[in-house]
Chain A
C-alpha cells in the first residue's frame, strides 16, 4: 500500500460498538452546535442579522423624528412625556426581527438538502424530528444576536430603556418563544421543498402582513377593523406589546403575562405540529 501508514492498525482497537452508544441527545447537541458554528463563523450571516433591524431604527425612526412631539403623542403614544418614537419603535422592530429569522433556518435547511448534507445526516440513526428541532432552535438562537446590538444602538440614538431585571427576563423569553414559533412555522412549511425561492416567497406571504398588522410600527388602535382583527391574534403584536410595556413604559402587568402565555402556546403548537409534519415530509434531497 503506497499511501497508508503501515504502522497504523486498522482493526477495531477502540471499543465502539453499537451497544455502547450514547443517548439521542448526542445527535441533538451535535446538530445544534453545527448550526451555531456555521452561523457565527460566517460574518455575513451576522451582518445581515444585525443590519436589518438597525436599518429600521435609522430610517423608519428617522422618517418620523422631525414630527412634532405633540402630534406624535396624540397620534401614537399616549405615553409618559419625553418618550420618543424610537423608543416606541424599538420593541416592535425587535419583534418583527425575531419573526423574519425563521426564514434563514428554512434557507439553511434547503442548502443542506441541495448540497446533500441532509443525506449525510439521515443516513446515520438520526431522526427527521431531531434535524427539524435543531434547525428551529438554531435559527431562534441566531435571532437573539440582534437583541444586545439593538439595545446598544437604541441607547446611542438617545432612547431611555425602562424595566426591572425580571421584566426584562420575561420580555426576552417572549422574544425567544416568538422566534422559536416562527422558525418552527417556516421550517415546517418548507420541509418538503428543495427550491431556494420558497423561503422568500413564503416569507413575503407571512412576514409582510404580520409585520404591518401587528402594532409593531404604529399602535393597532389606528388600524381599520380588518387589520385590527389580524393584530388581535398576531403573535408579533403580542410580543411587541409585551416588549413595549417593559422597555418603553417600564411595567409588567397581568396583561403582559397573558401575552407571554400566548407566545408560549404559539411556540408549543408550532413546534409540535412542525415536528409531526417534518417527521413525515422532511425531504432528503
Chain B
C-alpha cells in the first residue's frame, strides 16, 4: 500500500495500439481498501486499463502507481502485489484444482502456501473437488477457482475483469457476496470492470464511467445518480419519426437517436408519457422504456446512448464460453 493511501494512482494514463487510442489520458485514484468500478460498454477500454496497470501491456504515456510501486519502473514489484481475475476464466483445464493452486504458488514464488490454499478451497467450497481436473468444473466453480488463485499470494490489489459476465443470476449474486467478502474480510482493494449497471451500483464505493477510452464521469454511485436531474424515455416506433415532433412535446428537453430508437430526456417520465402518447399514434409505438435516475441514465445523459447497446456488437457470452471450453478439449 502506498504511503499516501492510494492503492492505485494514475495520471494521464494512455495506451495506443498503432493509431487506435484505447485509453486516453485517464486519471485514476483508488483509495486502499475500497472497491472501485470501471463502468462502460464493450470496447470502451476497461480491459486495457487493467492490462496496463498490471504490467501486461506497456504504458504509452502517463504514470501509474499500483500498490505503491511505479508500474513502468518496477513492474515485477507490482506483479507481486496484485491478483487478477480474467473475464474469460483462465485456468489450466488439464490440471486439477489443487495443481492449479500449486502452479500459481510456484509462479508467485511462495514458500509456504498450502495452508492458505486449503483455506481458500474451503472458503470457496471447492475442497471436495480439489483433485478433479478443472475442465470438469461448472462455470461458477471455475470462477471461484480463479478468484482463489488470485488471492493465494495475498495481493494488496485485485483486478476483476467483468467478474460476472455470462453467469446465471444466482451465481452472479453469489459472486457479488464473494467480492464484497474478499474486500471486507481480506482487506483487498478491488478494481472491477463491468458493463452491468446494477453490479457497479451494488458493489462499488466509487465508479468511473468510461466511454471511448476516456472517463466521462467519476464519483460514488449516489453522487453520479444525483447528478442527473432527469428521466429518460426510450421509444422505438414501427415507422420513421420526425424528431422535431418529439422535441415539440412539452417537457422533452433533448432527443437523440440510437439505432431504430429515440432517447428522450424528460423532466419527469410520469408527466411526459401521457403527452407522448397524445402526440404519437400509439399503435406505431413498438417499444417504450423508462429510465429513472441510475448509472445507466448517467451514461445516457453524457454519451446519449445506453451502456449495454453502445458497444459495436453485443456478444453472446454463453456461446462464447461454450466455444472456448470446446476448443480447450
Asked if A115 meets B90 with Cβ closer than 8 Å, knowing A1-B177, A10-B185, A16-B113, the reply is: yes
Question: Is B119 among interface residues, defined by CB-CB distance under 8 A?
Answer: yes
Which of B34-42, B99-107, B212-220, B310-318 has 4 or more CB atoms under 8 Å from chain A? B99-107
B107 lies within 8 A of A30 (CB): yes
Pair A10/B113 contact, Cβ less than 8 Å: no
Interface of chain A residues 166 through 214 with chain B (CB within 8 A): none
Task: Say yes or no: A38-B94 contact (C-beta < 8 A), given A14-B113, A14-B115.
Answer: yes
Cα–Cα, bound, A109→B57 (Å): 18
Q: Which of B76-84, B221-229, B282-290 contacts A (4 or more CB under 8 A)?
A: B76-84
Task: Tell me if B110 and A284 are in contact (CB < 8 A).
Answer: no
Name B80-101 residues within 8 Å CB distance of A. Answer: 80-82, 84, 86, 88, 90-92, 94-95, 99
A200 vs chain B, min Cβ distance (A): 18
Check if B168 is an interface residue, CB within 8 A of chain A. no
Given contacts A5-B125, A14-B112, A14-B115, contact A117 B178 (CB under 8 A): no
Q: Are B116 and A14 in contact (CB under 8 A)?
A: yes
Q: Which residue of B lies closest to A28 (CB)?
A: B106
Q: Which of A13, A21, A23, A24 contacts B119 (CB 8 A)?
A: A13
CB of A3 within 8 Å of the partner chain: yes
B186 contacts across to A, CB distance below 8 A: 10-12
User: Which residues of chain A come closer than 8 Å to B328, judged between CB atoms?
Assistant: 115
Most buried by B among A16, A31, A115, A119: A16
Contacts of B327 in A (CB 8 A): 115
Q: Whole-angstrom distance between the alpha carbons of A75 and B104 in the complex?
A: 57
Known interface pairs A16-B153, A20-B112; A11-B107 also in contact (CB < 8 Å): no
* Cβ-defined contact, B82 with A123, below 8 A: yes
- Chain A min CB distance to B164 (Å): 14
Specify which chain A residues have a CB less than 8 angstroms from the CB of B125 in the assembled complex. 3-5
- Which chain B residues have a beta carbon within 8 Å of chain A's beta carbons? 54-57, 76-77, 79-82, 84, 86, 88, 90-92, 94-95, 99, 102-113, 115-116, 119, 122-125, 149, 153-154, 174, 177-178, 181-182, 185-187, 324, 327-328
Name 18 interchain pairs, CB-CB below 8 A, sorted by A: A1-B181, A8-B122, A10-B182, A14-B112, A14-B115, A14-B119, A16-B111, A18-B80, A21-B108, A26-B110, A27-B106, A30-B102, A117-B90, A119-B84, A119-B86, A120-B91, A122-B56, A123-B84
